[in-house]
Structure 1
C-alpha cells in the first residue's frame, strides 16, 4: 500500500474511503474547484472524527491533485492518504496539455509518478486512475487505458476506472483484462451504483474485479436508494469480498464544511443503511479488508 507518507501494510488502513477527492479542478466544474487547503484539512478532521482512518484520492494527473499538500494533511489529520496518477476523460483537459502528453510518453509518466514521485514533491502515487465514456470507450479512453495497462505491468499498481454514469464496465474488462492482460483483481471499477443493473454488477464480480459503490447523497444519481439492494444482491451471491465504498466528493459545495454531506456522510449516513441491508460484518469488510486488498501492491 503506497501512501503519501510511504508504503504501509494493508492491515493498517483501518476504515477506508476507497474513492474520494481532497483536491480537484476541471473546466467541467468551473467555480466549484476543490482547491482550498484549509477546507481539505477541516474536511479530513471531520472524517477522522466520524471514524475514518484512510482515504484513496482518485484525482489524476493534470486536475489539481494538491500533491504538495497531501503529506502534511495526512500527518495533521492522522488519516492515511493514497494519491493517484493517471488521466481522466479528454473534456477535463486543454488540447495543449493532451498534445504534450501524446508526445511525451503517457505510460512513462504514470510509471515515473508511481515509482519515483510526482514532480518534485517526493510523494509517489499508489494507483492509476483512467476513465471510460458513456456506454463505450472512445479513442482517448483506449489510449489512456493502454498506457495504464503498460504502467501496471511495469509496477504492479492497481487501475481504478471511472465508469461514466456507471456504464461500459464490460467494455473496460474486455480491453484491460481480455486484450491487455491486466489481472481482474487489479482492477477497481467506480460508479457502478449509478447504473443499477444487477446483471452487469454480477458479471463484473464474476470476472474478479472490485466494484466501487461511491458518490452517495447525489439526488440526480441512483445512489442511496438503490445501493443497499445492489450490495445485498452481490453479498448474497458470494461477492462481498469485492465491494468497496467511497464518497467521491467532487465540488466545494458538496463538502461538509460548506454545508454539504461531505466525507463524513459515508460513515454517518450510508453505513447505517447498508448495515440494515447486509449486516455490520459485511459493511466492516467493505470499509477495511476489501480496500486493503484492492490497493495493496507487490511493487515490481
Structure 2
C-alpha cells in the first residue's frame, strides 16, 4: 500500500494537506559560511508560520552530511502539526570535506538504503526520499557516482529520487542517466530548480519522460522564477503535463526564513499560490500543492 514516509511514520498520501515539496528546516554547507540553518527555535517558528498560512507538510531535501538534524525533526513536526519528510542522499562534492566523500566510497548505496529502511544514525527517523545533484549543464564523475548509488537504493526500496539541477540545467542528461542507463522509472524522479533556467523546450521534453518537475524557490536576481513560472506552468498544462508539477520554497539560508525577515515557507502559499492561480486556475494549483506531492513521494514500502 502506498505511503509517504514522514519523520513520525508512514502516512497515506491524502493526509499531507498542502505540501511544500522542496524546502529545508536545517542545512549547513561550506559553500554558505555563516548562513547555516541550524537554529531549532527558528525552525519551529517557521513550521508554525507555514501551518498558519495553511500548510500541512514539508519535504526537507537536506541530504547526508549537511546538518539535517534528523533527531530534532519529530519533535518539531509534532509541535507544529505539520508532516515532515526527511531525505538521505548526497549533494555536490563541493558541499563536503574530501574525507567525508572518500569515507563513503564503496558503501554509498548501502548508506542510502539503511537511512531509508532502518533510520538515520541513532535518531530512528527514516528518510522518505533520496536527494542527489547534477552539475552545470552536465554530469561530472561525482554526480554519476551518487546517481548510480541512488538508483541502486531506489531499486532496493522504491524510494523517489529528487535531483538538484544546478541553475536549472542538465535535466535531460539526468534523465538519460537515471531513467535510461540506470533503469529508474521516470515517475520516481523529481527534477528540482527547472524554473531557474526558463527553457520551455527543455521543460516540456523533461515532462514528456513522465518525471516530476519541481518549481521551487522565490526569485533572486539571477533566478527568473516568480515572473517566468506562471507562463511555464501554463505552457506545460496546455501541453497536457499539468499532472507532473510540484511547488516548493527551497529556504537555504537563515536570512531567507520568514521569521528572520525573508520570504520563507509561507511565501509559497501567500504569494506564489495566488499568482499561479491567476495563470492556470485555482483547481490545478490546489492539485499541485495538495495531491501531486502524495503521488510523487508515495511509495509501497513493503
Q: Could you say whether these structures have the same fold, taking a TM-score greater than 0.5 normalized by the shorter chain as the test?
A: yes
Deviation of 1:130 (Å): 0.1
- Does residue 106 (structure 1) correspond to residue 108 (structure 2)? The answer is yes
SS of the equivalent of 2:130 reads strand
State which drifts further: 286-295 or 218-227: 218-227
Q: What are the ranges of 5 or more consecutive residues in structure 1 without an aligned counterpart?
A: none
Q: Out of 227, 230, 235, which is 1:228 matched to?
A: 230
- Of 126, 138, 141, 1:139 maps to 141
Post-superposition shift, 1:111? Answer: 0.1
Structure 2 SS opposite 1:245: strand
Matches within 5 A, 1:197-208: 197-208=199-210
Please state whether the residue corresponding to 2:62 is helix, strand or coil: coil
* Separation in 2, partners of 1:158, 1:260: 30
Q: 1:2, 1:23 → 2: CA distance?
A: 18
RMSD: 0.6
Shift of 1:229: 0.4
Select 2:9's aligned residue among 6, 29, 36. 6
| Contact 1:17–1:245, Cα closer than 8 Å, also in 2 | yes
- SS of equivalent residue, structure 1 residue 18: strand
Q: CA deviation at 1:217?
A: 3.2
SS at match of 1:53: strand
Q: Deviations over 1:116-167 (max 9, x none)?
A: 0000101000000000000000000000000000000000000000000000
Structure 2, unaligned stretches of length 5 or more?
none
1:20 pairs with 2:23: yes
Partner of 2:72: 69
| Structure 1 equivalent of residue 153 of structure 2 | 151
Match of 1:115?
117
The runs of at least 4 consecutive aligned structure 1 residues that moved more than 6 Å come to none
Query: Normalised by the size of structure 1, how large is the TM-score?
Result: 0.99
Q: How many residues align?
A: 299
Corresponding position: 1:253 with 2:255: yes
Aligned twin of 1:267: 269
State the match for 2:100 in structure 1: 97
Contact 1:217 1:261 (C-alpha < 8 Å) held by counterparts: no
User: Where does residue 36 of structure 1 map in the other structure?
Assistant: 39
Q: Distance in 2 between matches of 1:44 and 1:229?
A: 30
1:38-85 per-residue CA deviation (whole Å, 9 max, x = no partner) reads 000000000000000000000000000010100000000000000000
